Amino acid sequence: MASFSKFGNDLYTGARSFDIVGKRRIWFSIAGVLVLICILVPVFRGFNFGIEFRGGSQFTVSNVAANPSQSLATKTVEKLVPGQVPTVAIVNGVNTTSVQVTTSQLNTSKTADVQLALANAYNVPQSRVAATFIGATWGQDITQQAIRALIAFIILAVIIMALYFRTWKMSVAAIIALFHDLIIVAGVYAILGFEVTPDAVIGFLTILGYSLYDTVVVFDKIRENTNEDGERSVRTFSESVNLAVNQTLVRSINTSVVALLPVAAILFIGATLLGAGTLRDISLALFVGILSGTYSTIFVAAPLYALMREREPNIQKRTKRTTIARTTSGAVR
């Protein structure tokens, strides 16, 4: 710990400093390539949307014996349709019990296979296994409303950040970093071919909050440093920004580790003990998103902000003055 504290201390005083803002071309290129990949893969491969979005086949095994096993149906369907995670529910009517199995949409012959297998598994005649098409539970209306809400949120977030930081450039940099994160998370789903379920979408939305949250924390330090340094500073504007990023680096590392630990635990438990399902879906989005959110704040948002501000005339003047002062005094020595 002492060494980590020392590390934090060196970062704080500037004794040790990572030139993050200066080397922005490297970071921007990395981010650009990643984003490009994450846009292109979904374009060519598309997303693997879940039953909740596309609808699917529903099988109802009616009049089964009391207290039927749910896992029996899961195993039966998984054997016939590999890579499928069927949703199984027990439906209790007044005097009857039935098993309801939902899978992605199957073709006619597969449907017949599943009907036969389910009939055998639950020991009922095949005529008692009904198959029908079930529509999407995550309908167009939910998507539309969610997109409308997202747009409203982003506009308001831009306004509030611009008011709080007193510059719209921070808002723009933060939103660009946000899109970077969202595209990366979406891209990872397409690349791994994971099913996009409503739970994954919820994870996606959590990232939206986390990414902006993380950026605001670091930007607040940047605001503090650039305000305090002022006109007569010995640092150029970009150096002030860089120092702020370095000073919050320990916080960024600690926060992302603390946020990632529980998510990693869910991802691990979800993937190993439970197989695919809600936990794996949501935690993958979160895991990638938190990593990307932390990375993008430091390596995309902050350098981008410095870049945008550097072009301003009075900041260019300050940079010039500071640089000249530095070479002159260096010459004197």
Partner 1 sequence: MARTTPAKKALRSLAWLGVIVVALIGLNVYNYFVAVVPAHTVRVATFAPKLGLDLAGGTEIILQPELASNQQVSDAQLNQAVAIIRERIDAAGVAEPAISTQGTGSGETVVVQIPGALDKQTVSRITKAAQLSFRPVLVTDAASSSTVGSSATPTPGATPTPTPSLNAIPTSKPTNASDLAYVTPALQAQYNSFNCKSAAAANANLAPKAKPLVTCDSTGTQKFILGPVELDGTTITNATAAAITSSTGASTGGWGVDITFNSASGTKFENISTRLLPLASPRNEFAIVLDGQVITYPQVQGVTNAPQITGNFTQDSASTLADQLKFGALPISFKILTSNNVSATLGTASLFGGILAGLIGLLLVVLYSLFQYRLLGLVTIASLAGSAVITYLLITYLSWQEDYRLSLAGVAGLIVAIGITADSFIVYFERIRDELRDGRGLESAVEAGWKRALRTIIASDTVNFLAAAILFLLAVGDVKGFALTLGLTTIVDVVIVSLFTHPILQLIARRPFFYEGHRLSGLDPNALGAVYRGRAQFRAPVAVGAKNAGSSREAQRRQTIAERKAAEAEANRNKGKDS
Binders in 103-122 for partner 1, by CB under 8 A: none
Q: Can residue 245 be called a binding residue for partner 1 (CB under 8 A)? A: no
Chosen residue from 26, 116, 192, 265 binding partner 1 by CB under 8 A: 265
Q: Which is nearer to partner 1, 221 or 309 (CB)?
A: 221
Binding residues among 200-239 for partner 1 as defined by CB under 8 A: 201-203, 205-206, 208-210, 212-214, 216-217, 220-221, 224, 234-235, 239
Phi-psi region of 193 (alpha: psi -120 to 50; beta: other; left: phi over 0): left
Tell me the one-letter amino acid at 207. Answer: I
How far is Cα 322 from Cα 54, in angstroms, rounded to an integer?
60
Site for partner 1 in 67-106 (CB under 8 A): 70-71, 87-93, 100
DSSP string, 234-264: SS-HHHHHHHHHHHTHHHHHHHHHHHHHHHH
Q: Select the span of 34-42, 118-126, 185-193, 323-331 touching partner 1 (CB under 8 A).
A: 323-331
Nearest to 208, CA basis, from 266, 165, 268, 146: 146
CA 49 to chain centre: 17
- Binding to partner 1 (CB under 8 A) within 275-314 occurs at 277-279, 282-283, 286, 290
Least CB distance to partner 1 at residue 63 (A): 13
Contacts to partner 1 from residues 167-206, by CB under 8 A: 198-199, 201-203, 205-206
Cα separation, 320 vs 167, in Å, equals 22
Task: Tell me which H or E stretch contains 83.
Answer: none
Is residue 164 a contact partner of residue 197, using CB atoms and an 8 Å limit? no
**Could you give the CA distance from residue 253 to residue 256 in angstroms, rounded to a whole number?**
5
Residue 138: phi and psi, rounded to 5, are -95, 90
| Residue number with CB closer to partner 1 (124 or 218) | 218
Angle, to 10 degrees, between the axis of helix 302-310 and the axis of helix 168-192? 140
Helices (H), the chain: 2-13, 24-45, 51-54, 70-80, 108-121, 140-165, 168-192, 198-229, 237-247, 249-272, 278-296, 302-310, 313-332
List, in sequence order, every residue forming a beta bridge with 131; answer none if it has no partner.
59
Question: With binding defined as CB under 8 A, does residue 329 bind partner 1?
Answer: yes
Cβ closest to partner 1, residue 95 vs residue 311: 95
CA gap 201, 282 in Å, rounded? 8
Is the CB of residue 11 less than 8 Å from the CB of residue 276? no
CB of 190 to partner 1, least distance (A): 21
In whole angstroms, how close is the CB of 45 to partner 1 at the nearest point?
Answer: 25
Number of residues that bind partner 1 (CB under 8 A): 101
**Position 28 contacts partner 1 (CB under 8 A):** no
Range in contact with partner 1 (rule: CB under 8 A) among 39-47, 76-84, 109-117, 160-168: 160-168
| Cβ proximity to partner 1, 41 vs 104, nearer residue | 104
Assess 10 for contact with partner 1 (CB under 8 A).
Answer: yes
Part of the chain binding partner 1 (CB under 8 A), chosen from 76-84, 104-112, 113-121, 257-265: 257-265
Minimum CB–partner distance for residue 203 and partner 1 (Å): 8
Please identify, among the stretches 20-28, 109-117, 121-129, 249-257, the one whose residues bind partner 1 according to the rule CB under 8 A: 249-257
For residues 129-158, which are near partner 1 according to CB under 8 A?
132-142, 145-146, 148-149, 152-153, 156-157
